[in-house]
Chains A and B, each alone.
Chain A
Amino acid sequence: MYDSLKDILKELPRFHNELLELNEILLANLIMIGEIPAPTFEEEQRIEFLKNRFAESGLLSTSSDESGNALGILQGEKGDRNIMIVAHADTVFPATVDHTLSIRIDRVTGPSVGDNSLGCAVLAALPKIIEALKLPIYSNLIFMGSSRSLGRGNLEGLRFFLSNFKDPVVAGLCIEGVELGRLSYTSLGMLRGEITCQVPEAYDWTRFGAVGAIITLNEVINKILEIPLPGRPRTTIVLGSIHGGTSFDTIATSALLRFEIRSEAEGMAKNIGMEIEDIVASVASRTGAEIRLEKIAERRPGGLAYNHPLARNARAILNKLNIKPRISPSTAELSAFIYNKIPALTVGITNGGHLNEENETIRIEPISVGIAQLLGLLLVIDRGFADEH
């Protein structure tokens, strides 16, 4: 059974049909997980829930590790290889936001429902789904709800596990709730940083820079925007958020900028990071303000070649299910696998909208196709059709 890629592709429509019947297991998990707030560094409750689900599904070694990941192992029939299936458990929403989800016939709405409550729900439901579909899996499947992934979390959970897990992992599958069709197998080079600008309370307002922290930070931003960026390899600087000041009429004594440099080229993000360091030092010396650059996270570019069997077969699976592949690089979990030289993919489960807003919405109907895709990928890896010879 499943002796060739063709066998697996042939089974995908059957998986899809049977998964339609199992949708409520998935949705029940989605509601229960999605209503547990899990801001980065405060994911414990969600991790506990996942751990309990893993245990209820009969996974072995269900536990959470020092880094706060939820783990469980589905013992394979042969058990000679390990495949990791990962969904990040943390979200961008603070616990103070109302996490109530609302369900209509065709959609689910609420904070973090797509990023990444749905990914976690798929992870929680997958052991039951594999059991219901009677899929013979040879490899051990390591299920992980990863902690401290986003922002300052910097993939701490997954990086901790991969540095400390003693057995080899043949491949990783990262699950994101949205967007169906997303296919990532390369990681961008990335540098994520935070620039803080502090003007002392007892500042001499007669000096240059008396306009306060916001204008000083604005000067830094203008200089960042002057950095020449190559069109190829593609390189961008994203200015993600800015905070500063407290009112209309008080000169701001502090301001903060969060940014991310992304590049396909090795070393490019690092070099631009050094340029920004120079900008910060130069503006600080001229204004007398205290300006600090803190690097939050760095990634090196890498990943699978376009013709790697895992990438190639993943495209075949998506095509068979009539999912239009949207191939894009990632800076999330995938890059931790790539750093550890483990072939890995990130896929999305359904379509959605208003991502990272409180009215984040996902569509219910495509979920079964998204999971069929995941099962196909799992079998491809399990049977060795993703191995590079």
Chain B
Amino acid sequence: MNINTWLKTNTFHHSSFSDIASIVEEKQKQKLKVSLCIPTLNEEATIGKEIIIFKSELMNLQPLLDEIAVIDSGSEDKTMEIAASFGADVYLSKEILPELGEEKGKGENLWKALYQLEGDIIVYIDADIKNIHPRFVYGLVAPLIFNPTIKYVKAFYDRPLAFSQGIRPSGGGRVTEILIRPLFSLFFPELTAIVQPLSGEYAVRREVLEKIPFPIGYGVETSHLIDVFTMYGLEAFAQTDLDKRVHRNQDTRSLGKMSFRILQTFLSRLARVGIIDKIPNMSNILRQFQAHDNFFEEVLFEIDEEERPPMLEIPAYRKKRKLPQKRTKK
């Protein structure tokens, strides 16, 4: 499918799905279960709002969601207490599949959610959204429910209602525009059609998520796009405009760390899908600098973007989902 056709057929605006009752009706007809996963780490300022809105509007009033789960990386504030008090199922990431150890990162929580939650469709929503609204969920879930060929729906934001010039720049944040889009343009041109490849809000069919590995950190979104694209092509994707998203802005140094992790993931994917033969040994040290009086000094960060394997390879998962165990080679 070429990019322009895809943009026409697979790019939506949330307002097309505001009839939530019809989404619920179709969901029930298909006997689908939908789980919401909110990965958290110290999000006490915003988590309560997300839970209240989704629980009241999308569980009690319209049963679009079958479960709302918060998967926490070990918050030191009241995130877990607040989430539980407003009725979410709250899990500590390290207590899910404890025999596999504990990795620190958002990707780890997303991966463990796959084991813990029951849904045929999993919706991931970041916990730091200040202007939360039910559209953040129904806008992403609806394309999956109404179109069986779509497997992965990504959010994008902030299309102004009126724009004087007719043409306007459209895209994501700084990391997207100066790292991801140039990389995709070089190696996976079709994926450039995804307006905000790094957005933390997406809905995916379980049958897809369980087949792909999860980097444990910021590389998770990029690797998902490459892996799903390699398996199913562009037609498996859709994207929904969710209007405005208000959230914290990260400083440039944090974005540097994010970019480092994304590059680690990206380069390893290039080798894995055979685009390049072999990547040389790479340093896992990110070097940033700071000025100290009149001197510059180097600050080193050791960053390893490790990966969790596809969930289908985890025996405990296969057992829980009642799938036949894989034979191990002797």
Contacts and interface: CB of A to CB of B under 8 A. Distances in A.
A31 B78 contact: no
Interface residues of A, number: 16
A31 B130 contact: no
Interface stretch (A10-18, A95-103, A207-215, A295-303): A95-103
B33 interface: no
B312 interface: no
Say which size band chain B's interface belongs to: 20 to 34
Interface string B11-55: 000000000000000000000000000000000111011001101
Given A24-B87, A25-B61, A102-B46, A31 B132 contact: yes
Given A28-B53, A31-B53, A103 B131 contact: no
Given A100-B131, A100-B246, A105 B56 contact: no
Contacts, number: 48
A35 interface: yes
B130 A100 contact: yes
Contacts of B53: 28, 31-32
A32 B130 CA distance: 12
B158 interface: no
Contacts of A25: 56, 60-61
A105 B82 contact: yes
Contacts of B57: 28
B318 interface: no
B30 to A, nearest CB: 24
A102 B132 CA distance: 11
A100 B85 CA distance: 21
Nearest to A52: B18
A24 B131 contact: no
Contacts of B157: none
A56 B44 CA distance: 31
Contacts of B132: 31
Nearest to A102: B45
B6 interface: no
A28 B52 CA distance: 6
A100 B82 CA distance: 18
Interface string B55-78: 111001100000000000000001
B81 A105 contact: yes
Given A24-B60, A31-B132, A35-B131, A104 B48 contact: yes
Contact of B49 (A29, A31, A56, A128): A31
Contacts of A104: 44, 48, 78, 82
A25 B59 CA distance: 11
A103 B48 contact: yes
B206 interface: no
Nearest to B54: A28
24 contacts: A24-B52, A24-B86, A24-B87, A25-B56, A25-B60, A27-B56, A28-B52, A28-B53, A28-B56, A31-B49, A31-B53, A31-B132, A32-B53, A35-B131, A56-B61, A100-B131, A102-B45, A102-B48, A103-B49, A103-B52, A103-B86, A104-B44, A104-B82, A105-B82
Interface of B: 44-46, 48-49, 52-53, 55-57, 60-61, 78, 81-82, 85-87, 130-133, 246
Interface of A: 24-25, 27-29, 31-32, 35, 56, 100-105, 128
- Ordered nearest first, which 5 A-B pairs have the shortest CB separation? A28-B56, A103-B48, A24-B56, A100-B130, A27-B52
